[in-house]
Amino acid sequence: MNREILITIIACAIVFSGISFLAYNTVNSEQVPLPIYNTVIETPPTMQEDVSETPAITPDTPLPTVEEDSVESLVNNPKSMIKRLDANTSIHRTLTGLIIPVDNKHVWGNIEGKVGNAAPGHPVIIQFFKSLDDVPVHVAQVDLNDDGTFAYQFRLFSIDDGVTTHIFEGEYYVEIFKTIITPTN
């Protein structure tokens, strides 16, 4: 009987410490999602894609050339295209920029958005590139919420034994792929 009580007390302690950890981290100011990230700013990098501002595009509209586009220009002027997969589904691809200052003090960055006319059962794919001619430095797959929104939180740096490791720093091209129901004209 004493052994069962001891195991129960240990299990409760573990559960309560986990709840305390989650409660602390949800109110920790460095992890609370902040306003939309559109420029080099002093708040944690957060990028939000607003589908209401997506330009009118039709299936198979090519993505404009990006050779002359810098990351900075894409931060405020993302480029989009839709590529038809079949009669029912298409891929909506958005190319944008993300700039993380060298002196960044925030641990987390966020990418948030909403998929209009989402094809059910398909996640959002997010790829980070240092150069569009290279392979991605980071790839994420994010499930959609019931209302079509998505959010991806990623660590910008970590500190282990007093050593800071910057995971993300500088300029990145970000491609976001969303599967949508093929639009009709």
Taking the domains of the chain in order of start, what are their residue ranges?
A: 1-30, 31-181
What per-residue confidence (pLDDT) applies to 32?
33
Query: How many beta carbons lie within 10 A of that of residue 120, not counting itself?
Result: 8
| Contact between residue 182 and residue 87 where contact means Cβ atoms under 8 Å apart | yes
What per-residue confidence (pLDDT) applies to 173?
93
| Contacts of residue 153, Cβ cutoff 8 Å, sequence gap at least 6 | 31, 33, 108, 109, 110
What per-residue confidence (pLDDT) applies to 40?
33
Low-confidence ranges of the chain (pLDDT < 50): 15-44, 50-59, 64-66
What per-residue confidence (pLDDT) applies to 68?
56
What per-residue confidence (pLDDT) applies to 180?
93
Q: What pTM, to 2 d.p., does this model score?
A: 0.65
What per-residue confidence (pLDDT) applies to 166?
86
Q: Please state, in angstroms and rounded to a whole number, the distance separating the CA atoms of residues 38 and 35.
A: 9
3-state DSSP of 103-127:
CCCCCEEEEEEECCCECCCCCEEEE
Alpha-carbon dihedral 101, 115, 29, 74, rounded to 10 degrees: 10
| Contact between residue 39 and residue 99 where contact means Cβ atoms under 8 Å apart | yes
| Contact between residue 28 and residue 20 where contact means Cβ atoms under 8 Å apart | no
Q: Please state, in angstroms and rounded to a whole number, the distance separating the CA atoms of residues 155 and 167.
A: 7
